[in-house]
Structure 1
Amino acid sequence: MAASYQSAESLPGVAVEGSCPRVAVVVNPSKFSGGDALRVRGQLRDAAVGLGWAEPMWLETTVEDPGRGQAQAALDEGVDVVCALGGDGTVRAVASALIGTGVPLGLLPGGTGNLLARNLGLPLDSPVEALRVALRGVDRRLDVGRVRLELLRDEQVPLDQAQLVEEFFLIMAGIGFDASMIAGAPEELKAQVGAVAYVWSGLRHLRGERFEVRMWTDGGPGVLRKARTVLFANVSELQGGISLLPAEPDDGLLDALVLTPKSLTGWLSVATHVLTRGRAGSERVHTSRFQSMQLRLRVPQHIQLDGDAIGLTRALDTSSLPGALVVRVRT
């Protein structure tokens, strides 16, 4: 396995000798209605205390800070484990503060996809069972995808006002069709019908134009393609058990998928390839495995990280940070 990435910026918290170990729960309150949050909080408190831990530190996310600041506050308090209670977006935000620290991340699934927990075989339907894994499980080091990009927050921002930013992903990043589909799904519709909103948005964007992208893989020569979407995967399984790529979260590499259909016939070829797990083959599907990759586009495209549309880009560098994140998994 590749050497582990470590950061010197922060160190794991250490419990005071003789005291109970401490856990923080960073929760996305929008995932709960009515008194559900209080009920779950009580259940998690009872479970933690029953296992000999102190009452959990409870930190709620906000629209302005979806989890990173809360996780950093927990680290500053010296907790032993930080749990994310929410969807994949909450997990990504919390994890971004834990990268390189050695402090374990616990996954308490509360979203629609819960794809990281799904790929790691963690409990999906019971926050209490998931907490037990977080407190009594074993540590597993996972790779983290890093992207450094020129980011336009929306289509109205002039190209010369792009921001240079660094972001991270644990599951998958993508530019083009998949990101446009996510960005185009109305919040009101998602609240009413859930994942069906993405199907509606996907059908709207299916006939879009391909875009030119030049790609450099691991320092090699540039390759020019006309693509509909480019994906970078750290795990393999999506919702419904669909596997786009044979990606492994601890091999020190990322997997790339470039889809180049230019018609509905091309999309049918892509769908057949995906549904048969590549046995059917398609000249519109191109895959590779890499440690680092650079992309440059003529026209800015939407970008998504772990299912969150963050804006548009025309220049990005992505790479794998081997073993950068510790996650608690089943024994």
Structure 2
Amino acid sequence: MERVSVLANPTSGHGNGEHAAEVAITRFHQLGIDVRAVVGRDAAHARELVDEELAAGTDAMVVVGGDGIIHLALQSLAGGDVPLGIIPAGTGNDHAREFGLPTKDPAAAADVVAAGWAETIDLGRVDRDGAPPTWFGSVMASGFDSLVSDRTNRMTWPHGRMRYNLAIVAELTKLRMLHYRLTFDDGDPIETDLTLVAFGNTRSYGGGMRICPGADRSDGLLDVTMTNSASRLKLITLFPKVFSGKHVELDEVITTRVRTARVECPGINAYADGELIGPLPVTVSAVPGALRVILPPVG
């Protein structure tokens, strides 16, 4: 690594992003690496700056923050040769968790980037009627989990994980089955009532919930997890098991793997990497080898 571009979100992790960026940039300088800082006024401006950096040439696009700012960077990095580096500084850090990166030590994360060991992995792609494609690295959510995200985004208090937990409790009081029309690969459409459907390129979302515990980021497939219970008690029982991935052993949970799926459910939004994509229907696909990402060296 001779030159890296650093995309920072100062507000990540309730302000931890700014400190993490300072530590990481200092470490890069100590290692003799030239750094170009990228800080946009807003998401659209940040995306423009990322595109400019990629056009100018850089050895890596290093993102300081959480899954949201990584999601932004993926829109420019997908299908290209410039690798993604990550300095974790978010609340959820699901990408960092998947890749085994140090989440509490920005200098150590910068050392991983400097070592430059990159792996080529898959990405998920969401195509929505009349909209440009959206890329994601972790999980696309639809159903109860996206209703929780809708509510979380409307709330202004509290911060962090507690806000998400309160949104879960609030949505449980309104729990209902949702009518889906699902078409997997080249199969016939399936009409069914479910609580949620999640598509995982990697295993976790929501800050460590292993909703798709068997997902392999390099198999060219998306793991699909579906739940079909409208019982509040059963869903409350299921929830703690999601953190270990044991929920897939329950009768109320159905899993499969697909290359592509058409997902239809009236009134439900799709979220990917925790970011709002938009209302269903969408087509979601696994795209093999779409991203190079810098990971801790093997061995």
* Contact residue 66 and residue 90 of structure 1 kept, 8 A: no
Deviations 1:182-236 (A, max 9, x none): 12114521xx431111111111111332221111111112211111211011112
The alignment partner of 1:144 has SS state of strand
The alignment partner of 1:294 has SS state of strand
Q: Alignment partner for residue 135 of structure 1, among 106, 114, 119?
A: 114
Q: Which shows bigger deviation, 272-281 or 138-147?
A: 272-281
What residue is the counterpart of 1:203 in the other structure?
A: 169
**How big is the shift at 1:261?**
1.3
What residue is the counterpart of 2:285 in the other structure?
A: 319
The alignment partner of 1:165 has SS state of coil
**How big is the shift at 1:269?**
5.7
Matched letter for residue 287 of structure 1: T
With over 3 angstroms needed to count, the CA separation of the structure-2 counterparts of 1:53 and 1:144, relative to structure 1, is same
Say yes or no: does 1:225 pair with 2:192: yes
Q: Alignment partner for residue 300 of structure 1, among 267, 288, 292?
A: 267
What residue is the counterpart of 1:79 in the other structure?
A: 58
The alignment partner of 2:125 has SS state of strand
Matched letter for residue 115 of structure 1: D
Task: Determine the C-alpha separation between the residues in 1 that align with 2:176 and 2:65.
Answer: 35
Indicate the percent of aligned positions where both proteins have the same amino acid.
26
Where is the helix percentage greater, Structure 1 or Structure 2?
A: 2
Q: Alignment partner for residue 288 of structure 1, among 241, 246, 256?
A: 256
Task: Determine the C-alpha separation between the residues in 1 that align with 2:247 and 2:144.
Answer: 23
Q: Which runs of 5+ in 2 are unaligned?
A: none
Q: Alignment partner for residue 252 of structure 1, among 208, 220, 232?
A: 220
* Contact residue 143 and residue 321 of structure 1 kept, 8 A: yes
Task: Determine the C-alpha separation between the residues in 2 that align with 1:135 and 1:50.
Answer: 11
Q: How many residue pairs are counted as aligned between the two chains?
A: 294
* Contact residue 29 and residue 61 of structure 1 kept, 8 A: no
Deviations 1:120-161 (A, max 9, x none): 1011112221111112131101110001014xxxxxxxxxxx
RMSD: 2.5
Matched letter for residue 233 of structure 1: G
The alignment partner of 2:283 has SS state of strand
Task: Determine the C-alpha separation between the residues in 2 that align with 1:136 and 1:272.
Answer: 37
What residue is the counterpart of 2:11 in the other structure?
A: 30
**How big is the shift at 1:237?**
3.7
The alignment partner of 1:117 has SS state of helix
Q: Which runs of 5+ in 1 are unaligned?
A: 1-19, 151-162
**How big is the shift at 1:296?**
2.3
What residue is the counterpart of 2:131 in the other structure?
A: 164
Matched letter for residue 61 of structure 1: G
Matched letter for residue 180 of structure 1: L
Say yes or no: does 1:52 pair with 2:26: no
Matched letter for residue 4 of structure 2: V
Flag the structure with larger Rg.
1
With over 3 angstroms needed to count, the CA separation of the structure-2 counterparts of 1:97 and 1:280, relative to structure 1, is closer
What residue is the counterpart of 1:16 in the other structure?
A: none
Task: Determine the C-alpha separation between the residues in 2 that align with 1:34 and 1:239.
Answer: 19
